Structure 1
Amino acid sequence: MQHQHVHAEHHHTAPAPAGWAMAAKATLHCLTGCAIGEILGMVIGTALGWHNVPTMILAIALAFVFGYSLTLRGVLKAGLDFKAAVKVALAADTLSIAVMELIDNGVIALVPGAMDAHLSEWLFWGTLAFSLVLAFLVTTPVNKWMIGRGKGHAVVHQYH
């Protein structure tokens, strides 16, 4: 009897709204924007023969632009005016994109030769893919935590 009570108590405290699926979806959404910007920045910088630092700055800037714009599109579709939509996008994605970019660029900076790899080399794409997977794995719990506290993508989800 005592055991059943404990079990019922445990079942009662199970987290309901902020599931891993929702967090993963929010992260994937953000990651898509980040990846587009990141790859575009790397491609442009590499194609123009830029050094690592300006290429990285461009990639990070574009990652934020695309990350925000994907969220903006969804929120604007829900009927919010542009100013309110921008506030929601900034609230939802800033931490998410920042964590993602930190990991993404950290991995690329740490892998020997990855920063100097060319677009035709597997090292470039392999490192980028690995860093994006790692960024996804680290950012998902961050998003889950934020959604659970009614922040981040929880703000976006109330408009869907």
Structure 2
Amino acid sequence: MIGQRHHTTTEWSMAVSATLHCLTGCAIGEVLGMAIGTAAGLSDSVTIALAVVLAFGFGYALTVRRVVRTGLSWRQAIRIAFVADTLSIAAMELVDNVVLVAVPGAMDAGLTSGTFWLSLAFALAVAFVVTVPVNRWLIARGRGHAVVPHAGH
């Protein structure tokens, strides 16, 4: 029983860590995409698409950078990033953008509006909370960030 509890606690700890990593890449891409789309006056759907593409790009890039530091090749690192991050980023982006669209006025608010920035922060926070169990599920099955090698380990 104690061993199982430790295993479960470790999985949740790993899941939170993996989700924070995912949130970093997603937030960079999401904020850039939303800011660029809003500043350029792009439609909501184009702005969201841009934000999602950038979120995936930054999310994968952060993992690739970390994996290459362990000594693996770029090709291996890219493969690991796709395996480790795709479901996590997809879950985070889905939730983030659904929440953002659901907040009244968020998509119409300008870059100087508190509504824009608070809605974006709120959407990312909700996405984080929803994505932690997704990462825990992946890790428990030996997938997601469980497959990412770490330097020094």
Among 111, 129, 145, the alignment partner of 1:153 is 145
Q: Specify the alignment match of 2:52 in structure 1.
A: 60
Q: In terms of mean alpha carbon deviation, does 139-148 or 89-98 score higher?
A: 139-148
Specify every segment of 5 or more residues in structure 1 that has no aligned partner in the other structure, as ranges. Answer: 1-9
Q: TM-score, normalized by length of structure 2?
A: 0.93
Note if 1:72 corresponds to 2:100.
Answer: no
Post-superposition shift, 1:150? 0.7
* Partner of residue 45, structure 1: 37
Which residue number corresponds to residue 11 of structure 1? 2
- Alpha-carbon distance between aligned partners in 2 of 1:12 and 1:100, rounded to the nearest angstrom: 31
Q: Does 1:109 align with 2:107?
A: no
Instruction: State which of 83, 103, 106 in structure 2 corresponds to 1:91.
Output: 83
Output the CA distance in 1 between the equivalents of 2:77 and 2:3: 35
SS in structure 2 opposite 1:39? Answer: helix
* Pairwise CA distance, 1:13: 2.9
| Paired residues of 2:39 and 2:110 also in contact (CA < 8 A) | no
Q: Aligned AA for 1:136? A: F
Match of 2:121 among 125, 129, 141: 129
**Rg: which structure is higher?**
1
SS in 2 for 1:118: coil
Report the alpha carbon displacement of residue 51 of structure 1 after superposing the two structures with TM. 1.2
Question: Percent of aligned pairs with the same residue?
Answer: 56
Residue identity in the other structure for 1:145: W
For 1:68 and 1:107, locate their aligned partners in 2 and report how far apart those are by CA, in whole Å. Answer: 23
Pairwise CA distance, 1:11: 2.4
Determine the C-alpha separation between the residues in 2 that align with 1:132 and 1:12. 34
Question: What is the alpha-carbon root mean square deviation over aligned residues?
Answer: 1.3
